[in-house]
Structure 1
């Protein structure tokens, strides 16, 4: 690896130049306010025509450029195996026939338990040709969970007729715990012994000769056909199966194209790890490639110390035209770009846009990416974002203007209407549009609870205008309504912005933090440390126990300084940290404290660590960090 570090300026020049990126012009909207203070914000731009089915653009590209690569993945860490558009259609048709032969349907759909791979993609496309829904289920429910409770709940909701895993052996325990004996298991390797039960081999399944029955089934697929189910993370409750129709998927991709018309000119090339059991990777990014005739390089890396090296290896070899990631991923990429000349050369060679979602990107990381780009190629790359959710397919609000900053989410995408409802001193955003789900699968009560009397989907997210005098500047994310709480004084604590501030000031040693203080006098924090950064700061090896690492003098000094700064920069009791506890035990997926994307859930952490919260507020507890008195 080349480690040719570059020197970057402490601050960007006042008039920055950006790489050209045709966008649809900054979004515009019209707002009306009802007597009760509710606001209705509608996109001025209408949604353009779009296909009835996501397979329609797939067929278009297979006909116009059959040899173009749709997707590629390394074989056992070596060379790339590529699947063309024509090959994808041919294999998907054979898969569709196999599904039809088995009588699979919306009542007996397909469940995919393993991670992103080419067979996973082809199986999903085959399902869409056959009109059989599928669900990509979090691999963590099978491979990381100890009790498989969430997997059983998900499969119990789905009642699948076919379950797919990439390899039998790693999933043997999950299959035994959650998949009924009469449900067929399909595996890439056909490892019956490893799976502990009969397994259908992928090679045989995908070789099923297709017949006119596939054309008949595909003809019945329309906008209201259920394409897939995506299960919410279930961090506060049991996972819910979000219905995703063909209308949702196609309307959402047309919304994206109207916000970023360059997609229709330059077929996107993605190097992407984002999991397909989540809407960002599985809907947004796969759909973007298919809709616009692009190419997806499946990245087996992740933004964690053990796997980030694979992502960097791929990005040194494949130059994306658009790069998507979560904020944690951009933190890792920014550090690597600063140190690695080969990575900079490839990455910046043709990337036209950076886009993050899933959480807020800290402004220091944003600024670092700008500085590195300017130092290398003399121009910045536009960083864009928005707001959406699984229930909106996910694109709903987009920030594509020239002055996007950390926290900005923009204005409604074409075809969307936002309803902003006053709630606990904030404005909760509710959605209506063609990309909004009709509800949750086999859960009529939860569906009814999620829509208001006018048919708007209740998001639970809060927004506020960037500039109350200028709607065109859009909105900023203002936290989750359900996460906010009151101190004993009656003062509201806005959790989202506070967590973002802690993560920014605590870089690189803070993974995340959970504010505490419900019905208490003071605001506190439970801090999840980033173990690798703390070990590096302590000068200890990778195997050093975290409890020992946190006792090292440099680490203790870091967290003391962080609490001091958080206290000193607080503007009142709702933002001034008075005590903190650095946690040794990482967040647990079985307890719903974390998703497999690494998102921490406030409510679940506080529920399962109530004893630690009590300890945090004990007078004299030695492990609690209190701010030091300010020097005169």
Structure 2
């Protein structure tokens, strides 16, 4: 099967399994973990010495041209910033807080903070720019008590600053653009930081740091409650990079090139992808596009300029990529020209999208380019398991990385996953009770996920994701409903017409579904659909007939009451970030949606439901 793929140095180490008398299992990688750097900035210094003129990071400037920094230039700027920060009374109790998104300036400030042992915390821009009550921003501010706040441009963040940031707290901004009118906070332009001479005191502060030094506070997505501040130490970040390098050895053979949009307030973009570039002397081209129809043109332009060697995205991003690469074969040829590996995370990749990517790769290169995925969390820095090239499929999460122990604990009819290793967080900042609940008596972090073997007789083949333990519920018959598994099945069966789905039925006698439809694809079902509003699309006979047909067809595949959807309705109002229904990365908080839309749930289970409810036709 590997003959179908372009050759790439990615290993499959297999597993060792310890079977316990109580039904638990501990699964390990037989390969030991190699040595790793003390701190991530050590790698910046290493490459600034070894390949000083190699490009480390690039972004487009206002004229649309690539602004690039070499490793030497990056280190010079980082040490200047570190020197400026030294006398600002910053510490773990008063960290640096970044409100704005990915940028060279953001990255330089982050590395400058970490250079002298001051943690920094990247905050979702949605908390400042989308939220209307600033509830989550206020929550993270009160938890962190930052000593300095950074924004790229004061203007767009002014309302959030006025609402949440105390008047005496200093700000650093790349640009003011009239955002400082009437502002009571002291503001320093970022350029002033770069003009500060490097000093021996900053180097001494660096030497005083170690693997236990807090590098970042990374906030959880808040999919089950208010975001928690996950402590990310230097050891976690560096160890995790070496874990991945052991598996993906090609990263060490040739400096990787990334064209990447993934937000740095999430561990996928902020730890995984930045780390892969920096740890291996690679180049990170910051992509200011996003996986939306409106913003993907920016990504396409960037991929026209720069051919990545490794590519990371979420499933929606790959869906849009397929569409654009089909329409622009010259970009497709460039995209695949030196691509060695692709990776997806955050959700399952639909098989028809996967097949289309394979077809494009074969068309332009003669072979498939490997696609892999795995399992990780903000608390694991993030990678814990990775799938092999041969076994990788949507839902497959693979085997533990070197240095990771995976503990399987019986939980009902499932096996709950817990992990332990040097890349696992010591806990949540200023949250002793939450930290205590997150770890078991042996120090394993409780992921909250369930997993199952692809083949119990061949454990080396790895694991499949088996849903979130905390989301599962029982029908009134006592039958368990696996929400994660059922949700993925519904999205796959109704593809491409569903964006997300919320499962209802706790203590009821059957399962129902509330759907956030993909309006764009639903619109294509209707003649002249472009002339209709979103609400008119959802209520059109053609769309309802399509969903009714698929509801009936899916029931024919059901294996029992726990996998049969008997009623379905559209959710016509988008999920609210202020009501905690959706995280900034788009993950749905099932419990919050069910609670906030209780009247719609009651309608689903009414003896005489409204016309909005579609009922299974047997």
TM range (shorter): over 0.9
Aligned partner of 2:489 in structure 1 is 501
1:529 maps to 2:517: yes
1:570 is paired with a residue whose SS is coil
Matched, 1:217 2:196: no
Cα deviation, residue 337, structure 1: 2.3
Given the alignment, which residue of 132, 136, 144 partners 2:122? 136
Q: Which has the larger displacement, 77-86 or 137-146?
A: 77-86
**Does the Cα contact within 8 Å between 1:172 and 1:195 map onto a contact in 2?**
no
Closer, same or farther in 2 for the Cα pair 1:79/1:537, shift >3 Å? farther
Q: Deviations over 1:186-219 (max 9, x none)?
A: 1111346446414211111221122111111111
From 17, 36, 46, the counterpart of 2:32 = 46
Please report how far the alpha carbon of residue 628 of structure 1 lies from its aligned counterpart in structure 2 after TM superposition: 3.1
Equivalent residue number for residue 147 of structure 1: 133
Indicate if the aligned counterparts of 1:299 and 1:311 stay in contact, CA closer than 8 A.
yes
User: Which residue in 1 is equivalent to 2:5?
Assistant: 18
Secondary structure of residue in 2 paired with 1:579: strand
Deviates more, 1:231-240 or 1:49-58: 231-240
Pairwise mapping of residues 104-253 of structure 1 onto structure 2 (< 5 A)? 104-191=90-177, 193-194=179-180, 196-197=182-183, 198-253=186-241
Work out which of the residue numbers 429, 440, 446 in structure 2 matches 1:441. Answer: 429
Greater Cα shift, 503-512 or 236-245: 503-512
CA pair 192-224 structure 1, distance change in 2 beyond 3 A: farther
Structure 2 distance, partners of 1:49, 1:419, is 24
Task: Indicate the SS of the match to 1:208.
Answer: coil
The number of residues matched between the two structures is 615
Match of 1:74 in 2: 60
Local SS of the residue matching 1:277: coil
Of residues 624, 629, 632, the one that matches 2:613 is 624
Q: How far is the alpha carbon of 1:446 from its aligned partner?
A: 0.8
Kindly tell me: are residues 15 and 161 of structure 1, through their superposed partners in 2, closer, same or farther at Cα, counting changes over 3 Å? closer
Q: Does 1:307 align with 2:295?
A: yes
Tell me if structure 2 keeps the 8 A contact 1:190–1:202.
no
Alpha-carbon contact 2:155-2:176 (below 8 Å) kept: no
Alpha-carbon distance change, 60 to 598 in structure 1, aligned in 2, over 3 angstroms:
same
Conservation of the 8 A alpha-carbon contact between 1:191 and 1:199: no
Give 1:77 shift: 6.3
Distance 1:266 1:562 in 2: 48
* 2:75 corresponds to 1:85: no
Aligned to 1:28: 14
Q: 1:617 Cα shift?
A: 1.6
Gaps in structure 2 of 5+ consecutive residues? none
Q: 2:573 aligns with which of 565, 574, 585?
A: 585
Pairwise CA RMSD: 1.5
Aligned counterparts of 1:401 and 1:375: Cα–Cα separation in 2: 20
Map 1:91-490 to 2 at 5 A: 91-191=77-177, 193-194=179-180, 196-197=182-183, 198-490=186-478
Q: Which residue of 2 aligns with 1:4?
A: none
Q: Is the 8 A contact 1:528 1:582 kept in 2?
A: yes
Q: Distance in 2 between matches of 1:135 and 1:581?
A: 39
Match of 2:43 in 1: 57
Query: CA separation of 1:386/1:358 partners in 2, compared to 1, >3 Å: closer, same or farther?
Result: same
Q: State the TM-score, normalizing by the size of structure 2.
A: 0.97
* Contact 2:260–2:285 (CA under 8 A) maintained in structure 1: yes
Q: Deviations over 1:65-89 (max 9, x none)?
A: 1111111111136111111111111
Offset at residue 438 of structure 1 (A) = 0.3
2-structure distance, mates of 1:82, 1:615: 56
Per the alignment, residue 515 of structure 1 pairs with 503
Secondary structure of residue in 1 paired with 2:500:
strand
Tell me, yes or no, if the aligned pair for 1:27 and 1:400 is still in contact at 8 Å. no
Q: Is the 8 A contact 1:532 1:542 kept in 2?
A: no
Deviation at 1:336, TM superposition (A): 2.3
1:313 is displaced (CA, Å) by 1.8
SS in 2 for 1:62: helix
- For residues 113 and 528 of structure 1, the distance between their equivalents in structure 2, rounded to whole angstroms, comes to 29
Match of 2:595 among 592, 596, 607: 607
Q: Please state whether the residue corresponding to 2:544 is helix, strand or coil.
A: helix
Equivalent position SS for 2:520: helix
Q: Which sits farther off after the overlay, 566-575 or 195-204?
A: 195-204
Structure 2 match to 1:3: none
Distance across 2 between alignment mates of 1:530 and 1:583: 11
Q: Which secondary structure does the structure 2 equivalent of 1:188 belong to?
A: strand
Q: TM-score, normalised by structure 1?
A: 0.95
Q: Name 1:11's counterpart in structure 2.
A: none
- 1:354 is displaced (CA, Å) by 0.6
CA distance change for structure 1 residues 57 and 303 in 2, over 3 Å: closer, same or farther?
Answer: same
Unaligned runs of 5+ in 1: 1-13
- From the superposition, tell whether residues 541 and 81 of structure 1 become closer, same or farther in structure 2 (CA, over 3 Å): farther
Q: Could you tell me how far 1:541 is from its partner in structure 2?
A: 6.5
- Per-residue CA deviations over 1:438-468 (Å, capped at 9, x if unaligned) read 0011111111111111111111000000001
